[in-house]
């Protein structure tokens, strides 16, 4: 079975499993890792992905992979993760989940525009509360990393301290990264 065929079969097999857990299956990749294969499953949903979510999805995916011989009986290491900031924004849900983030959007006419996502629906995205771009005009977008964004979770009363909401998000991101490093062996 070729790489594209295997990926397609895995998407077809794991999509319903991931959806049953309440997530969108964003990507599945299989790469050689010595005598084993690394199966990376990327999931996301509105509101984000917690470490507990990753553990639950990982168990369900692992169980399904063990039930079906899609990997040809080869040993595998399973990694379930959420998309990184460098993931291209290509679907309406990606743009919706980037609300409040600074993005660079590549347009079909060859130009690009940068702005903060202030709204997104099934027809398009709104940048900086003024510029509406229909999805038909977009090729893709990317979230821009902002190291010094003043209103990114900083509370004016506590200069330099993260508020509880954003501090919790950072803890979850670190936990997800730690979980990705350990993986689950099938």
Torsion sign over Cα 78, 80, 83, 86: negative
Structure tokens at 54: 């990753």
Both tokens assigned to 32: 């050689």
Kindly tell me the burial class for residue 100, based on how many C-beta atoms sit within 10 Å of its own C-beta (0-12, 13-18, 19 or more).
Answer: exposed
Residue 159 pLDDT exceeds 70: no
Does pTM surpass 0.85? no
Q: Where in the chain is the domain with CATH 2.30.30.100?
A: 92-144
Q: Which fold has domain 92-144?
A: SH3 type barrels. (2.30.30)
pLDDT in tens, 23-74: 999 999 999 888 888 999 999 998 889 999 999 999 999 999 989 878 777 8
Domain with CATH 3.30.300.70 in the chain: 3-84+170-185
Q: What is the biggest distance separating any 2 CA atoms in the chain, rounded to whole angstroms?
A: 59
Higher pLDDT, 129 or 154: 129
Does the 3-84+170-185 domain belong in CATH 3.30.300.70? yes
């Amino acid at each position: 079975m070729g790489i594209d065929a295997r990926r397609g079969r895995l998407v077809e097999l794991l999509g319903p499993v991931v959806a049953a857990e309440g997530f969108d299956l964003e990507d599945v990749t299989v790469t050689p890792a010595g005598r084993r294969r690394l199966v990376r499953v990327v999931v996301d949903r509105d509101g984000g992905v917690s470490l507990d979510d990753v553990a639950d999805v990982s168990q369900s995916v692992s169980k399904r992979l063990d039930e079906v011989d899609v990997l040809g009986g080869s040993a595998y290491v399973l990694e379930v993760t959420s998309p990184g900031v460098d993931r291209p924004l290509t679907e309406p849900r990606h743009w919706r989940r980037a609300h409040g983030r600074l993005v660079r959007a590549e347009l079909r006419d060859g130009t690009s525009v940068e702005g903060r996502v202030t709204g997104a629906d099934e027809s398009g995205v709104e940048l900086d509360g003024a510029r509406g771009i229909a999805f038909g005009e977009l090729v893709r977008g990317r979230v821009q990393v902002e190291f010094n964004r003043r209103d990114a979770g900083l509370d004016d009363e506590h200069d330099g301290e993260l508020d509880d909401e954003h501090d919790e998000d950072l803890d979850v991101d670190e936990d997800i990264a730690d979980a990705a490093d350990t993986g689950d062996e099938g």
